[in-house]
Amino acid sequence: MKPLFDTTPDASFELINSTDIEALGVNLAEYRHRKTGASHYHIAADNPENVFLVSLRTVPEDSTGVAHILEHTALCGSRKYPIRDPFFMMIRRSLNSFMNAFTSSDWTAYPFASSNRKDFDNLLQVYLDAVFFSRLHPLDFAQEGHRLEFSEPGNPDSDLVFKGVVFNEMKGAMSSVNSQLWQTLSKYLFPNVTYHYNSGGDPEAIPDLSYDQLQDFYRSHYHPSNAVFMTFGDISAREHQHKFETLALAEFDALPEVIAVPDEKRYHAPIRVEECYPVPEDEGCEGKTHIVVGWLLGNSTNLRAQLEAQLLAGVLLDNSSSPLLQALETTDLGSSPSPMCGLEDSMKEMVFACGVEGSDPDKRDAVEALILDTLKNIAEVGVEQHKVEAVLHQLELQQREISGDSYPYGLQLILNAIGSATHRGNPTEVLNLDPALAELRENIKDPDYIPSLIRALLDNSHRVTLVLRPDTQYQQRAEKAEQQRLAAIKASLSPEQKQAIIDQTNALLERQAMVEDESILPKVGLEDVPLDTPALTSFAGQFGELPYTAYARGTNGLIYQQLLVEMPDLNDAEIALLPVYTQLITELGLGDDDYLQVQDRQAAVCGGISAYTTMRGDISDEQAFKAYLVLTSKALLRNAVAQSELMRDTMQALRFNEHERIADIVTQLRARREASITGNGHGLAMAAASAGMSPTAQLQQQLSGLPGIRALKTLANGVKDSGELSNLADTLAGLHQKILNGPRQLLLIAEDEALQQHTFALESVWGPFGNGGGQGTLSQPAVREVRREFWAANSQVNFCASAYPTVPSDHPDAPILSVLAVYLRNGILHRSIREQGGAYGGGASQDSNIAAFRFYSYRDPRLQETLADFTASIDWMLDTTVSDDALEQAILGVVSSIDKPGSPAGEAKQDFHSNLFGRGIEERRRFRRRVLAVTGDDLKRVTATYLKDVEPSLAVISSDSKLKTLSSWTSEQGFSVQKLQ
């Protein structure tokens, strides 16, 4: 049989093996560089979005964050491109669909993707030089990693402070309780190997890292002998390898050292440990403890062991009808299952964990007993066969789905395989799962198969029970310890050392302000931009009275369905419950089936079913808007009819009499939303700042912003009362009946042949469903007002935002404002907010959906200074001559985001929803043409019109301690102080 793709290597590489993976329509070939031993895995595909990734095995032996800081610093200039910031400069000079770098627990990766061949080659040159010939300038280490500065620059009598991008990034990351929970569990599950440490860096340990240690780590780890190259797309392996060789590999010889993670030594008996995490002083500690039980399992490169672990985790925890998750959801020992529940199989050895949150330390033994007794019971009575088959069904669906809406599809495949490649396993097995799944199907026919896996888990003595309890004084002690450390350092400094700190601060400021010659970097220009936005083909039809729109797309044997219902007119109480309603709609019983039976049905039929609300402002008037409820699911084609029946029943037969289930879901939703704050703080701050811009913005803030989280906390406390719970269920049932009366339509996405084959069968399900009809649509009064809010949250860093009223998407100035946002980010905000200010990120955006221009910062050590920088950038724009090159880069940035490819199904969904809200292909093309026509005069005009001398709305998310120190300032500036309690 002829191979799907040519696998001939370049002369510098040898082919190790090659496999056609028919389920994915790709070929995976493994190559080895003859001279250095570098590995290259190429996934050949008929796909123009080519992906590159080079990964280095990085195994830190402390928590200084050396691998993470090196990831940042390596991108700050190289031998061929000796300028300060080639990575961020290339973002501006590229049409990339993805460009980033990652630090994992035992590898560091540098990936990018582009559908433009010239752009791909440009990025490849910069990435290879950055990784293998990085110059690691000491001032870049100071900027990206950590440094000492005086709080009053130039004044050696002022206090010392720690600064650094990674230092502040990790302060923000470790503000997340989930991050602390995982890091603490790993510390005890892995007492000896690299996973014991925080690869991202512990903020208390980061200042211990020296520049010399960074250089030593680079020399020992960033070498082709320790590298794994992975590529995807329609560029041949041979062409990639020729460039690898000429641009980098030819200059290296093999290293004798082999970097690998050794096997962890095993405990001979389970251990129990207890640690603390910070909560604000004004919050109580009762019911805020996390109790987690974790096991260290086998090697992740053993595909059979990995799939058995995935199967076991699925059987135990996949959905609410899974026996272990059911026990954790329904117990009164905690408020909800732990976010740690599940399998972690990306490291060399796998971890299985489960537990509860919202508990108390004295319940440790009871939680542990609940988990172990549940496992023992399952081992004795077994698991129903259909539940096991449903988990296998989910594994098959995950393998076949062509994703690519968050990350490019090729990068998703690469990331699925990178763990195996890193640990010197067989990535081909990971991607070509059909043979292994066939073996599992045979194995599960043995009724003792799953019980035997559970008995092995119970007999595994390498088990840790972790109690992570709240401590209201923890953060204060940590801050005091940092202050004392800095004071001790200052006391030990000689006058010469103090001057050296001042000199470094000045040198770094001078370096950051330097205008460098970007012309040495390759680039694409407007001449490389595709001329137009291609239109997707769809066709419309009717199933009885229900209209549908169908897209024929290459979905690899999957069908996607969405039922959309236009939102009816609702009162304020009903609107406030929409986040709870959309979560509950797929979590309750249907007709005669209780929610456990429905969960089983969902797992057997589809790869997930969920609901959400979507709303957008009118393209010419932000005060007018439309809103829809969307019920969405995906399934293998063989389940298309059953999928439709499930969706229909979810709407028609939903019942709200399972009160305990409602209370459990509300509590779980509150926990998830509260835990998401530090990860999405900039988004929440922007939502708060722009909430007064339009009805849509106000609704989004109410439903998914910080007030929505606060309302969920109140609701979760209220459902503890049976009367309030009963009233809530009745209100939800009434809300559901109102929504059922709304006008409906259906979206179908599948391959052309499949749509033709299944249309008649789908009509038999959807035809009788009807089209609602409804009375009135959701409306809100117009709003355009200035707001200022200071939100106190459990965060060690700040998130800042300011917002200005602008125009909706069809206004001629909307595209100009979109370009302005990128121009400001590239020209000044990146430097002032990130490089000089030390925030992990910052920038601006024009949201034409709500007609608002927003500035933001992310994981920011500063607050007032950042808000001042936002304002200063407006004056900079008006006082500085517009650079033609910088303007072109800003236009490229907007066009690149417009043209970014998605998955086949994702592109169809995006097209449909754009049309739904009046943003048809002609409107989108007009917006794109206007972007390409933006001039420097346009940028100055819209800056003067919409930003200069306009009072902005402001929002800040920070800590209680910061609020105390700024209480007079917040009062003077007219901030309303908000808390989540």
DSSP string, 9-64: PPTTEEEEEEEEETTTTEEEEEEEETTT--EEEEEE-S-S-EEEEEEEE---SSSS
Q: Indicate the pTM of the whole model.
A: 0.93
Half-sphere exposure in the Cβ direction for 774 (13 Å, CA) = 23
For every residue of 77-119, DSSP letters joined together read -BSS--SS-HHHHHHHT---SEE--EE-SSEEEEEEEES-HHH
CA distance 816 to 249: 44
Pairing type for strands 788-792 and 976-979 reads parallel
Q: Where in the chain are the domains?
A: 13-261+514-520, 538-769
What parts of the chain have a pLDDT lower than 70?
1-4, 775
In terms of Cα–Cα distance, which of 32, 300, 409, 252 is closest to 41?
Answer: 32
Half-sphere exposure in the Cβ direction for 581 (13 Å, CA) = 26
CA distance 758 to 749: 12
> For 881, phi and psi rounded to 5 degrees?
-65, 135
CA distance 249 to 241: 9
Taking a C-beta distance cutoff of 8 angstroms, is the pair 145, 77 a contact?
Answer: no
- E strand or H helix at 825, and its extent? none
Fold of 538-769: Cytochrome Bc1 Complex; Chain A, domain 1 (3.30.830)
- E strand or H helix at 325, and its extent? helix 323-330
- E strand or H helix at 775, and its extent? none
User: Token match 């250095």: residue?
Assistant: 36
- E strand or H helix at 475, and its extent? helix 474-492
3-state helix, strand, coil in the chain (%, to 5): 50, 20, 30
CA of residue 511 relative to chain centroid, distance: 32
pLDDT in tens, 780-833: 999 999 999 999 988 889 999 999 999 999 999 999 999 999 999 999 999 999
Instruction: Give me the pLDDT at residue 574, please.
Output: 95
User: Token match 């989280």: residue?
Assistant: 709
CA distance 786 to 804: 9
CA distance 209 to 229: 29
Q: What angle do CA 131, 134, 136 make, to 5 degrees?
A: 130
Taking a C-beta distance cutoff of 8 angstroms, is the pair 680, 175 a contact?
Answer: no
Taking a C-beta distance cutoff of 8 angstroms, is the pair 821, 843 a contact?
Answer: yes
Instruction: Give me the pLDDT at residue 4, please.
Output: 66
CA distance 703 to 715: 13
Taking a C-beta distance cutoff of 8 angstroms, is the pair 353, 183 a contact?
Answer: no
Q: Which CATH superfamily is domain 13-261+514-520 in?
A: Metalloenzyme, LuxS/M16 peptidase-like (3.30.830.10)
CA of residue 693 relative to chain centroid, distance: 27
Q: Is 857 helix (H, G, I), strand (E, B) or coil?
A: strand
Taking a C-beta distance cutoff of 8 angstroms, is the pair 546, 670 a contact?
Answer: no
Sign for the CA dihedral angle at 422, 427, 429, 433 comes to positive
610: left (phi over 0), alpha (psi -120 to 50) or beta: beta
In terms of Cα–Cα distance, which of 207, 164, 205, 168 is closest to 73?
Answer: 164
626 to 429, 610, 779: CA distances (angstroms): 47, 20, 8
CA distance 23 to 615: 37
CA distance 303 to 617: 49
In terms of Cα–Cα distance, which of 841, 821, 822 is closest to 831?
Answer: 841
Q: Would you state the torsion angle of the CA atoms of residues 393, 398, 399, 402, taken in this order, to the nearest 10 degrees?
A: 130
CA distance 169 to 171: 5
> For 267, phi and psi rounded to 5 degrees?
-70, 145
Determine whether 698 is exposed, middle or buried from the number of CB atoms within 10 Å of its CB (0-12, 13-18, 19+): buried
User: Strands, E, within 120-235: which ranges?
Assistant: 147-150, 160-163, 227-233
